[in-house]
Amino acid sequence: MFDTLTERLTQSLRNVTGSGQLTEDNIKDTLREVRMALLEADVALPVTREFIAKVKEEALGQQVMTQLSPGQAFVKIVHDQLTKMMGEANESLDLAAKPPVVVLLAGLQGAGKTTTAAKLARFLQERQKKKVAMVSADVYRPAAIKQLQTVAGEVGAIFLESSADEKPITIVTRAIEQAKIQFADVLIVDTAGRLHVDDDMMDEIKELHAAINPTETLFVVDAMTGQDAANTAKAFNDALPLTGVILTKTDGDARGGAALSVRAITGKPIKFLGMGEKLDALEPFHPERVAQRILGMGDVLSLVEELERKVDRDKAEKMAKKLQKGGSFNFEDMLMQFEQMNKMGGMMGFLDKLPGMSNSGIQDAIAQANPEKQVKKMEAIIQSMTVKERRNPDLMNPSRKKRIASGCGMDVVEVNKLIKQHAQMAKMMKKFANPSGMAKMMRSLGGMQKQFGGGGGMGPLFGGNDPKK
């Protein structure tokens, strides 16, 4: 999400990371570059000015901590100010009100409100164990109600019927009563997309808000609209008492300026980030973690939480025990590893959260190799095998390889590549099962990262700066 900004900022901060002391001159030069980096990332000008002023004030009046060098202390100031700008800590939804808690989604056309409604329903059901009902008050867009019904079915939420010839207020007041009868904890209301300059439509949502008095009024905004996202959020906030913002399509936004501007301009917290098209791709917004990612420090906490949530622990433990007892790593195990990686958002989603990876050249190298495509190929080849072949890799002979290749529509060359890949993974898995082997592997990974220019891999805060080019 913040690729460009991360690249520019880490480049700028390298100038001071190795400095023995902070002077007004070297701070001035660095701040000029930081200002350019923020403006290029589409952060609003007033927000950028305020941010630079606060960092300068902090840096010049700062008593440097003994455990950090002056340069590292400066990076810490930048990190703290980024966190403040985005809102200190994660603010969750207020679900303490009398059920059904009404959550109203508002925003421009095409911002992704209907998909976000389904993502939010899934999030509340899976992580907070809430019973969720959904209703569409979009009577203008053709098939909008049908679309919500489809996604509600996909996430297993209660869908409350509505019709395009009804008024939005009638739909929602009836839906609240139906949600009470069905003992729903939360009612998510999907509204029509509207422009903030369309007075009639804005009056309609004001009336709707006044009639139903929702606990949460969330503004859904496309992160790729950049600086304009903050301006429309402000216009909606002037019309409606917003309680928070959901940024969508953040996986496609390389600049990330919207995330930094929205909170500062509206004063309303960003509560969630939409990270992709899949209905489980919604993450709570943690300002301090996002600030770490922007500065190339990774987001290990989010990664650990994701692993805890998405990785099938029973399967993983079963395989670990098998390997520890001297069992072999077969094609079925390999397929399971691919499935777990897909759950984590693929290779790139995983690397994005690792410290030092954002600016190390490893990501570029991996992106060019297109691992997701390669994994799909390998999955197709394994699925073309018999159960016996999957469990016994030693059975592979030319005639079996030929049959497997024709079964998945590929060449025998691709099957041989997979067998080679499997042999390498099996070797690595043996190391995973052995603690001393694991330590050796970690050391070799550190060496590989230096080779790619990661410089220790912990971002500028921890002194992992690259040598100047």
pTM over 0.75: no
Other beta carbons within 10 angstroms of residue 376's beta carbon come to 13
Binding-site residue positions for GTP: 107-114, 190-194, 248-251
Question: Does residue 467 form part of some domain?
Answer: no
> Quick check: bond before 100 cis, omega within 30?
yes
In terms of pLDDT, which residue wins out, 69 or 392? Answer: 392
In terms of pLDDT, which residue wins out, 232 or 467? Answer: 232
My answer on whether 119 and 183 are in the same domain is yes
My answer on whether 209 and 172 are in the same domain is yes
pLDDT (mean) for 191-204: 85
**The predicted structure's pLDDT at residue 306:** 56
Sheet holding 244-248, edge to edge: 158-160, 132-136, 186-190, 101-107, 216-222, 244-248, 270-274, 282-284
Alpha carbon distance 165, 299 (integer Å): 48
Domain boundary among the residues 86, 114, 139 is at: 86
Domain boundary among the residues 295, 315, 339 is at: 295
Alpha carbon distance 65, 72 (integer Å): 10
For residues 125, 279, 298 and 360, what is the CA-based torsion angle, rounded to 10 degrees? 170
For the chain, give the number of residues: 469
**The predicted structure's pLDDT at residue 104:** 92
Structural domain of 356: 302-462
Q: How many domains does the chain divide into?
A: 3
Is the pLDDT at 464 greater than 50, yes or no? no
What's the pLDDT tens digit per position in 426-442?
777 766 655 555 455 55
pLDDT (mean) for 39-51: 82
> How many CA within 13 A on the CB side of residue 263?
25
pLDDT (mean) for 130-145: 90
The answer to whether 100 and 187 are in contact (CB under 8 A) is yes
My answer on whether 171 and 132 are in the same domain is yes
Q: Which residue has the tokens 């003994």?
A: 66
Is the pLDDT at 461 greater than 60, yes or no? no
**The predicted structure's pLDDT at residue 147:** 92
Measured CA to CA in angstroms, residue 380 lies from 251, 311, 383, 452, 465 at distances of 27, 22, 5, 31, 41
My answer on whether 224 and 131 are in the same domain is yes
**The predicted structure's pLDDT at residue 67:** 47
**Closest to 215 in 3D by CA, of 195, 181, 243:** 243
Domain boundary among the residues 295, 320, 350 is at: 295
Question: Does residue 372 form part of some domain?
Answer: yes
The answer to whether 296 and 133 are in contact (CB under 8 A) is no
Q: Pairing mode, if any, of strands 282-284 and 270-274?
A: antiparallel
Question: Does residue 203 form part of some domain?
Answer: yes
My answer on whether 317 and 275 are in the same domain is no
My answer on whether 204 and 326 are in the same domain is no
Provide, rounded to the nearest whole percent, the portion of the chain with pLDDT above 90: 14
Sign of CA dihedral 180, 182, 184, 187: negative
Q: Which residue has the tokens 């700008």?
A: 85
The answer to whether 134 and 243 are in contact (CB under 8 A) is no
Mean pLDDT across the chain, nearest whole number? 76
Question: Does residue 126 form part of some domain?
Answer: yes
Other beta carbons within 10 angstroms of residue 361's beta carbon come to 14
My answer on whether 278 and 313 are in the same domain is no
**Any idea what DSSP says for residue 348?**
H
The neighbouring-strand residues paired with 203 are: none
The answer to whether 141 and 164 are in contact (CB under 8 A) is no
Tokens representing 142 are 């053709």
Binding-site residue positions: 107-114, 190-194, 248-251
Question: Does residue 351 form part of some domain?
Answer: yes
Residues 6+ apart with CB under 8 A from 355: 296, 297, 298, 300, 457, 458, 459, 462, 464
The CATH code of the domain that includes 327 is 1.10.260.30
My answer on whether 210 and 317 are in the same domain is no
Residues 6+ apart with CB under 8 A from 200: none
**The predicted structure's pLDDT at residue 326:** 62
Helices then strands, each counted (H, E), the chain: 21, 8
Confidence of residue 120 (pLDDT cuts 50, 70, 90): very high
For the chain, the first-to-last Cα distance in angstroms comes to: 25
Helix 398-408 × helix 412-433 angle, to 10°:
100
Is the pLDDT at 62 greater than 50, yes or no? yes
My answer on whether 349 and 263 are in the same domain is no
pLDDT (mean) for 46-51: 85
Tokens representing 354 are 């690792």
What's the pLDDT tens digit per position in 335-384?
877 777 766 665 555 555 555 454 445 555 555 656 677 788 888 898 88
The CATH code of the domain that includes 213 is 3.40.50.300
Alpha carbon distance 135, 172 (integer Å): 7
The answer to whether 136 and 148 are in contact (CB under 8 A) is yes
My answer on whether 314 and 238 are in the same domain is no
> How many CA within 13 A on the CB side of residue 210?
7
The answer to whether 296 and 460 are in contact (CB under 8 A) is yes
H-assigned helices in 267-370: 287-294, 300-310, 313-324, 331-343, 346-351, 362-369
Alpha carbon distance 114, 193 (integer Å): 10
What's the pLDDT tens digit per position in 374-428?
788 888 898 889 988 888 888 889 999 999 999 888 889 988 988 888 888 877 7
Is the pLDDT at 183 greater than 60, yes or no? yes
Alpha carbon distance 120, 107 (integer Å): 15
**The predicted structure's pLDDT at residue 198:** 81
The CATH code of the domain that includes 69 is 1.20.120.140
My answer on whether 155 and 82 are in the same domain is no
Question: Does residue 76 form part of some domain?
Answer: yes
Question: Does residue 94 form part of some domain?
Answer: no
Question: Does residue 93 form part of some domain?
Answer: no
My answer on whether 23 and 68 are in the same domain is yes
In terms of pLDDT, which residue wins out, 8 or 157? Answer: 157
The answer to whether 42 and 227 are in contact (CB under 8 A) is yes
**Any idea what DSSP says for residue 141?**
S
Other beta carbons within 10 angstroms of residue 314's beta carbon come to 8
Confidence of residue 134 (pLDDT cuts 50, 70, 90): very high
Measured CA to CA in angstroms, residue 56 lies from 262, 293, 352, 421 at distances of 22, 22, 29, 51
**Closest to 309 in 3D by CA, of 277, 335, 283:** 283
